[in-house]
Structure formats: C-alpha cells, structure tokens
Amino acid sequence: CDWSSDVCSSDLIGPDGAFRVPLLTAGEYSGTLARKVEVRVPGTTRTSYAPFGARVVPVRVVAGATARVELEAPAVTFGSLSGRLVGADAMASGCSVVLVMLDTDNVQRGVFPVAADGSFVADDVLSGRYRVSVATSAQRAIDEVPAQLGAIVEIAPGAVAVKEFPFVRRTLTLRL
C-alpha cells in the first residue's frame, strides 16, 4: 500500500481473476480496476493509475476477517498515436511528447521521444482523449510542467491516430 496517496493495489491478478490486497487495517474502502502506469526516465519512475471506467464498489474490512469483493472488468482497449511536430525542424531533437489522459485524473500517461524530423510514436496507449504537451527532455517531462500544445487528440480502440501539431520552440526571458 502507498499510504501517502491512499492507493492500495494488487499487482498480481491470477488467471482466475482472484487478487489479494494484504495488511489492510479495518475500515471502509472503495474498490475499482485500474491499469498501473509507470513513466520511466533514467533515475526516476513515476507511478499512476489509469481507471478503466469500471464501477466503484464499496468494501468494508473487519479486523481479523477477509473481505470478499467482485469487480466487473470492462474490456480494456488500446490505440496508438503517430504524430509530428510541424515546423520543429532540428529544434525537436531530444524533446519528448507527453500525453496526459483527460476525463480521469489528468496525470501523465506516457513520455515519448521525438525524432530529429519532429515525428514520434505512442504505442499501446489506453484509448481515450489526451492533451499533448512537449518537454525539452524525458527527464524534464518528469521534473517540470511540460509546454502544452493546446491540442487534444482522441485515440480510438485498436486504431492509429495520425496527427500533426504546430510547434515553435521559444525561449522565455524574465526580467525582475
């Protein structure tokens, strides 16, 4: 359990769908299904959970007893995004595209490298609506707030969304 974020999870779900979340204290909980998403860059891993749209089920845990709950598992669908930062030229080299899934918890769902020609591919992404942002590197995508392109893209189940995004890299100078 990650008590700092109020998330207890079972990473192991058996072939029969059974799972266990051990060492819960007595109390009221909510159960739902979510996909664990890890965004990794050298030296850092950020973990978040992407809900599948499953129904939330209340669970009461009593001291010394095992609570049983059945969760409905909706079909999980994935898609891909093949994109290009237009006008990027050599400025995009080393940058990363960041996808933030809307209508959930607005957390990064993936960081994808941008090629020198401005192209990028985001494979095996949960289907849904995403805000597209750009960071100067994968590490900065984790450490800082990426620059938003103002673009929303819909990734359909089993499909590859193809989209171009206008991009101009600028330097911001603040004088105090």
Best CA proximity match to 45, nearest among 130, 113, 138: 138
* The two three-digit tokens of residue 102, written as one number: 């809307």
Q: Can you tell me the distance from the alpha carbon of 10 to that of 1, in angstroms, rounded to the nearest whole number? A: 9
Q: Can you tell me the distance from the alpha carbon of 153 to that of 81, in angstroms, rounded to the nearest whole number? A: 9
pLDDT in tens, the chain (176 residues): 444 455 666 666 777 878 788 778 888 888 877 777 676 666 777 777 766 666 788 889 898 888 888 887 777 788 999 999 887 565 666 788 888 888 766 667 778 888 888 899 998 888 888 988 888 766 665 556 566 677 889 999 899 999 998 887 666 677 77
Q: Can you tell me the distance from the alpha carbon of 18 to that of 13, in angstroms, rounded to the nearest whole number? A: 6
CB atoms inside a 10 Å sphere around CB 112: 18
